[in-house]
Structures are given as structure tokens and as C-alpha cells.
Amino acid sequence: MATATQSEACTRFLELHRPGDPLLLPNPWDIGSARLFESLGFAALATTSSGFAASLGRLDGRVDRDEALAHCAAMVTATDVPISADLEHGFADDLDGVAETFRRAVATGLAGASIEDFTGDRDRGMYPIDLAAERVAAAAEAAHAGPAHLVLTARADNGFHGIDDLADTITRLQRFQEAGADVLYAPALADIAAVRTVVAEVDLPVNVLVSPGMPSVAELAEAGVARISIGGAFAYAAYGTAVAAASELLLRGTFGFRQGSGEGRAAVLRAMES
């Protein structure tokens, strides 16, 4: 992607983060799903580490940096909307490694990327808050160094890993804001009250993750949310549909799944011909 075009995509992506009128950000897991979601009218897309890993026959966290960045470049090339990337923990513990990941992310043509404060190792858990903030600062410096200002999303992953400590989550988000993030993200907030508290305690656009029990888009908008993302949910929904169809054929010997496949085929044809 030409620098001017990438710069415009970065600017556009950030502009789409409007508190009270949230960006609906689906997470395609391959080029086909990216083009499909784009054809439906979504204004931007984001990769999903878990969905992409599943497409390779792996669990989340089992994709390396080179593979993730090659996937990002392919998604950017295949679509005409801003693309943000789930770069997990930056594929590095050390600050130089984090910076290198985000320098390379800029080179793929992305409009945005995220970094989380989970180490990627359940035994080690979360990075200490000071180190987590330093890692965000290293990512921000690399993401913002060139003419294209990559939109950096900083994630406080406490709730995603079973840590019920909203005060610590908010403190982490505030530190990430000070470190240079553009968007803040706390997956798995407990309820709408927690969402409102987070939005009130920070000054940057807030992203929330769709999860069981999450209120409607309208309620999240009223709470001041600026972005709503799906994570691996669409990928797993697609796999769930495939499991149901395959199980019907294998266990019942019937073909009811064909009734729904026509709509999917038509949607694919429209997306790939556009």
C-alpha cells in the first residue's frame, strides 16, 4: 500500500471511533471472510488471532510473528477498508522485540494494531503494570514513527484471564493512555456498569468485546463505547455451522444443511465478484 493511502486509512480508522456511535468491527479469519464482511458494508476489519490460528489447524497463541504479519499483509492487499491486527503480546517480551513487531506491522500497510498485557503464558500471567506500560510505549513509538500513524490499541486483559479486578484494569488502561495508545480495550468486562466505569475513567476511545451476556449495541453506545469487536466469535460460529452440517450428514444421513448453503454461496459470489 502506498504511504499516502496507508496514512489515509489510519486517519479514517481512528475517525471511525466515535463514542456513542461505535464502530462495529468484525474479525475475519482469512481473505475470503474478509472480503465477505467488506461486501456486507463494514467500514473496517480486524484480524483475530484465535480465528486465524484455527484456520491453520492450531490453537490460539500458536502462530508466530512472521506468520501473523504475512497474514496481515495478505488481508490488507485483499481489501479496500482499514485493517487492524491482533498482534497478541507483540510476539516478544523485551521492548526491542515489541518495537520490531510494530515497525514490521506498519510495513504491511495496516491501519491499526493491538498489544495486550498478557504474557501469553498462563503460568506467568499478566505483565507487571510498569513493564506493561513500557511495552505499550515501545509499540506506540514504533507505530507512530513514520508518516502513517498506525492506530495503536492497548489491551488490559485481566478479565479475559479470570482476574476480577476492575480497579487494576482501569489503572492499566490509564497507564497505557499515558504511554501513547490511541484506543483502549478491556475484554470481558463483567457488565454494563463496568463498561460505563471504564469509559468514564479514561480519555481515549474504548473498545469492548462481544461476549455472552453483553448488552445490545444500542446500550453499549449509550454507555459511550467507541468500538465493538467480535474476536473469534464469527470464526467459531462458522465452524459450528460446519460441525452441525457434517454431523447431520454423518449421523442422520440427511441433507437439511443444503437449505442454508444457498444463501452462503450467493453471498460469496457477490463478495468475490465485487
Enumerate domains of the chain plus CATH numbers: 3-233 (3.20.20.60)
Mean pLDDT of 181-207: 96
Report residue 263's pLDDT band, with 50, 70 and 90 as the boundaries: confident
pLDDT score, position 214: 86
Neighbours of 152 (CB within 10 A): 26
Lowest-pLDDT range of 1-5, 69-73, 109-113, 168-172: 1-5
Q: How many residues does the chain have?
A: 274
What pLDDT is stored for residue 260 in this prediction? 80
Q: How far apart are CA 72 and CA 67, in angstroms?
A: 9
Instruction: Please tell me the predicted confidence (pLDDT) of residue 98.
Output: 98
- pLDDT surpassing 90 at residue 166: yes
Whether the predicted pLDDT of 2 surpasses 60:
no
Rounded-to-integer distance, Cα 225 and Cα 219, Å: 9
Predicted confidence at residue 212, as pLDDT, reads: 85
Q: Give CA–CA dist 219/189, Å, rounded.
A: 14
Rounded to 5 degrees, φ, ψ at 57 are 80, 30
Tell me what percent of the residues of the chain surpass a pLDDT of 90.
90
8 A C-beta contact, residue 190 and residue 182: no
Q: Is 112 helix (H, G, I), strand (E, B) or coil?
A: strand
Confidence grade of residue 116 (pLDDT, cut at 50, 70, 90): very high
Which region among 1-10, 15-24, 174-183, 212-221 has the lowest average model confidence (pLDDT)? Answer: 1-10
- Confirm whether pTM is higher than 0.85: yes
**Mean pLDDT of all residues in 45-57:** 97
Residue 1, pLDDT > 60, answer no
- DSSP E strand stretches across the chain: 23-25, 45-46, 83-86, 112-116, 151-155, 183-185, 206-209, 227-229
Confidence tier at 137 by pLDDT (50, 70, 90) = very high
Query: pLDDT per residue over 99-110, tens digit each?
Result: 999 999 999 999
Query: What are the Cα distances from residue 152, in Å, to 8, 75, 140, 165, 246?
Result: 15, 18, 6, 24, 40
Per-residue pLDDT, 174:
98
pLDDT, the chain, mean: 95
pLDDT at 4 over 80: no
Give mean pLDDT, residues 163-176: 97
Q: Give the pLDDT of residue 211.
A: 87
Q: How confident is the model at residue 259 (pLDDT cuts 50, 70, 90)?
A: confident
What is the structure's pLDDT at 3? 60
